[in-house]
Amino acid sequence: MSPFVRRAVAVTVAVVAALAVSPASARAGGAGQVNAADLTLLIGLRQAALWEIPAAKAAAERGSTAKVRQAGQKLAAEQAQLDQQTSYVILRLGATVRPTLTTQQQDLLDRLQSATGSQFDRLFVNSLRNGYGFLYTIIGEVRSSTRVGPIRQLGDQANVAFLSYLQTLENTGLVQDQSLAPAAIPPAQDLSTLGMAKANAGITSPISPAVLWLLAVIASGIAGLAGLRIVRHRRITADPRFAVRRGQEDTRRY
């Protein structure tokens, strides 16, 4: 199968799958409307605060340069405020969120505790820069797809806040660009479309069934065309005349 055909089949199937699992519109409001993607944001924000706020407070006290100490002070105060807003949204929606530190997060706190001087500065800046960068992409994804008003508002606040966090750390001049993780676009909208589909019961597609069937037929047609090309190629290569012709071409080439 040619690269073009493979790409066409993959794109068409992905579109059909994404449309088929798209959730119906949800009303903003009670906890019954909160889905997996929304919970991913709420848990992520609260879990991040568990280690990033203590790390920022440590930097405010132990940073070896004024820029690092100022960055730590600013981040600790602003993220504590965002954490309060997150807790309020959780309470308002009646959601259940019990975040705990991961092993990696606890290890980073332990390493910061034992680090000193410029080693502490670099570890603090780059660890939080990577953490903020990872969650920043989740914030945008959930904000663009949530059907819940309070989640949408929190997403707006978190988006502005995390952009400020990233800029604050980058302004220290200690961010190691080569260590930044490459952009990872989730396949088939893992955090929104598929996550919502798994979290919501009684999903109905907002796309007309006729459109879905048309896309399915197109995908089948492309796949069928690819199959015919494969069969035709195999028949040609199996033909003895093809082998003779190929041998003659090789003889002329040499």
Neighbours of 142 (CB within 10 A): 29
Confidence of residue 45 (pLDDT cuts 50, 70, 90): very high
**For residues 107 and 101, what is the distance between their CA atoms, to the nearest angstrom?**
10
Neighbours of 164 (CB within 10 A): 14
CATH 1.20.1260.10 fits 22-199, yes or no: yes
Residue 202 has pLDDT above 90, yes or no: no
pLDDT at 37: 93
- Residue 52: which of 69, 70, 77 has the closest Cα? 77
**For residues 12 and 218, what is the distance between their CA atoms, to the nearest angstrom?**
8
The arithmetic mean of pLDDT across residues 16-22, rounded, is 36
DSSP 155: H
Q: Which residue has the tokens 């730590």?
A: 72
- Pair 140, 162: CB distance under 8 Å: no
Q: Write the burial class of residue 236 (CB in 10 Å: 0-12 exposed, 13-18 middle, 19+ buried).
A: exposed
Neighbours of 130 (CB within 10 A): 17
**For residues 8 and 70, what is the distance between their CA atoms, to the nearest angstrom?**
51
Q: Which region, left, alpha or beta, applies to residue 203 given φ > 0 means left and ψ of -120 to 50 means alpha?
A: beta
Confidence of residue 144 (pLDDT cuts 50, 70, 90): very high
Full-model pTM: 0.61
Give Cα separations from 202 to 22, 34, 192 (angstroms). Answer: 12, 14, 17
**For residues 246 and 240, what is the distance between their CA atoms, to the nearest angstrom?**
10
pLDDT in tens, 102-125: 999 999 999 999 999 999 999 999
What DSSP element (H or E) covers 134? helix 117-145
pLDDT at 12: 39
